[in-house]
Amino acid sequence: MYRKVLIAVAAFIISAAAVSAQEASKEKFKRYNRWMVGIELVKDNHDAIGPGVTAVYGRQFSELIFLGVGFGTDMTIHNPGQSRLEITDKNGNTTIKEYGPYYYFLFPVYADLQVNLSRRQSPFFAEFKAGVAVDTDLTRVRGTESYCTYEWAGGGVLLGSGVGKRFKLKNDDNIDIKIGVDCIIGPFYANIPISLGVRYGF
């Protein structure tokens, strides 16, 4: 009988310890808001390459799930040389204008979902985007007078995804290295930029 009592007490202690460990593990993580800011190198579908900056603000819901809102800008340079245009009017006067280079600025705004693929301190992660993007271009015109033109170049719905590696730092900060691809489709516009970036989360 004593043996049964000892076994019952031991089983109770073990079960209580297990429950308490589960509760401790649940209490170990607390949801919090965070920023992620970074720089990237972008290549668009015209084979132009340029820099970009990104920022994401959102909530870390668990050790695995982050959901936020992202925004930023990418700049690519098209036609790095200059194009020359000669215009002759009806009086025979010739005007020469030089165009270029063209600087394209992409402004995306999107919902950002990040999923850690493990609970390790430095996990791999996947990222998914859904939002909109606007593309504009800036160029300088040289002739009898010099001026800059700034025009809307396109834009549309943005869907994107990426993968990367997250390196844990102190105080729950981290450094991310990631590669991603976006698909931007709109009326008479399509762009599929590929990016390689580094991001700091705090």
pLDDT tens-digit profile of 51-90?
999 999 999 999 999 999 999 999 998 876 666 666 677 7
The gap from C-alpha 192 to its chain's centroid, in whole angstroms, comes to: 14
Predicted confidence band of residue 14 (pLDDT cuts 50, 70, 90):
low
Say how far apart CA 72 and CA 54 lie, in whole Å: 4
Q: What is the pLDDT of residue 85?
A: 65
Predicted confidence band of residue 166 (pLDDT cuts 50, 70, 90):
very high
Which of the pair, 140 or 9, is modelled with greater confidence? 140
Burial class (CB in 10 A: 0-12, 13-18, 19+), 183: middle
Q: What is the pLDDT of residue 32?
A: 93
Taking residue 96's Cβ as centre, other Cβ atoms within 10 Å add up to 11
Say how far apart CA 69 and CA 104 lie, in whole Å: 23
Burial class (CB in 10 A: 0-12, 13-18, 19+), 92: exposed
Q: How large a percentage of the chain has pLDDT more than 90?
A: 58
Mean pLDDT of the chain: 84
Q: What is the pLDDT of residue 170?
A: 84
